Structure 1
Amino acid sequence: MITREEIPTLLDHPVYDGDGNKIGEAKHVFLDDVSGRPEWVTVKTGLFGSSESFVPVRDASLVQDHLEVPYRKDKVKGAPNVDVDAGGHLSEDEEHRLYDYYGIDWDSVLAESGEAGDRDRTTGTGPAGAAGRATADTASHRGEESHVRAGTDDAMTRSEEQMHVGVERRESGRARLRKYVVTEEVQQTVPVRHEEVRVEREPITDANRDQAMAGQDITEAEHEVTLYEERPVVETEAVPVERVRLTTEERTEQETVRGQVRKEHIEDEAAGAGEHTSRRDRDVPERGGE
């Protein structure tokens, strides 16, 4: 159970589930109107913290600089949506719905807050057991009330929404290198040699007379000469010619993002002549205690 003294340490710090997964940042703490004890913490979840989910703190624990709750991250993110800016309070119906979602018995909650004897447990009627929002400033002053009440002073808070734009990294495509084989016709001229027969005749001279007169006088004879020629021989060899790789580079471009934000306006409305000037309630949520 979280105490009031621990609220300033808790706000704007991480909230983790029982498996050690970060759920978000603690934004608000809601106190029980009767006991004054912390009952709920809102956790900013979603992209850029755009959503707030309610988590009961009855079984939560503050560990160093973060809060641990006994619920899984997806369980917290799927909690019923409650407007935390609607007067800074949770109604009895909203609390009942949230406790049912987290599987917490409603009667045990009433008994712990000291209201069990004042309520009709069957119909749920009786004093509204709402929880009021607290901040680090309100929690540090124990004499102040734990909830925000409209109309307690003569000032009205005007609020407006601000747009926060961030970036997310996502896959935009893929590129790959693929190697394949093609066959090309190539042509190259090389010199080749071959032998041809040429008949040479020489007259009988004193130098060759002895060779000419050797052997039989008149005979039949043959003389054979082997001829040679060159032919092209083709061989192929694979040799590396270059290295190819894929690299990525980042380029920054300017992109305009448009959105809608809401603003509250406050204006005076005067009554008819002869009447006192008064203010009319408008559909503008009032905040206090922040």
Structure 2
Amino acid sequence: MAELPIVFVDDFSGSTDSIKIQAAINFAQTNNKKVVLSGNKTYSLTTPIVIKKGVELRASRLTQYTVQGNFRVFELQQNASLVGGFITINSSSYTSDVIFLDGKYQYEKTNVKDLYLTNWSGKVGGTAIKLYSGANGSKIQYINFENISISRFSKGIFLQAVKPASGEAWVNANRFDKITIDGCTDMIVLDSAKQPPNECSGNVFSNLQIQPSSDTTKLFTITGTGNQFDGMCWDLHFITHTNPVVEFKLASAGNQFRLGLPYNRIVNNGDNSNSKGRDILPLTTSDPTTPTIGQIWLRVDL
């Protein structure tokens, strides 16, 4: 009989659920197992979980991870994956990252999918998913993020490439598909230079569903080159200001934005090659004597 390739969290002992989960992950890596399976239950997380190189932490159908405290919840090492689960934040003072990837691990075969992340503490805070590169040779590329719902964080998805002391660091060529972000202060943020040595470029965000709330300040902050965004944005009237909610920063070029938003809610402080897309809803005017650049003149005098 073939040896079972799956490690079960509930086969391990420990004084806390975090210790049990980490013990299962450590065992899987040491014994060349690929999958650690959580049970159909709620796990109370009180300390960080590191998903070790080559290990996938997979949830069962009813798995829930409840975070008690302010700490980075899941850090993924090289080729680690996180699949499934309902992750909830219980601390109203939460300011950390729920899922964190560091380019120092130089990812190649990582997947993050089928997740629901929510801050139900009653106060918006923290970052749901953060990708960070800041050391020479750090890279996060070709990773798939799929079928993820994010609710009530300060930042929904945050990509950051910081200029290293020497060499290059980047967060490039990743895919984010079937992503829902609801009620965050900033939905998606890219923070980098336009080009090497530190860039966030060529990332594709597809099938987005963006739902703002009264806590929302901005939907998209975009840097880097050649990033693509498409999907739907809903209910801008929930946002309590009328300023732009999409910003192409100075360090941006060649980005493509395909979500239905009025022109006056988008500002391009970057290169003219940034595209707002043909799908954008233009402002209209019925007065041909006072037209505005970018508006369509609707003839009402015929």
- TM category (shorter chain) comes to under 0.3
TM-score in terms of structure 2 length: 0.22
Higher-strand-fraction structure: 2
Higher gyration radius (CA): 1
Looking at secondary structure, tell me which structure has more helix per residue.
Answer: 1
Q: Which has the higher contact order (CA 8 A, sep 6+)?
A: 1
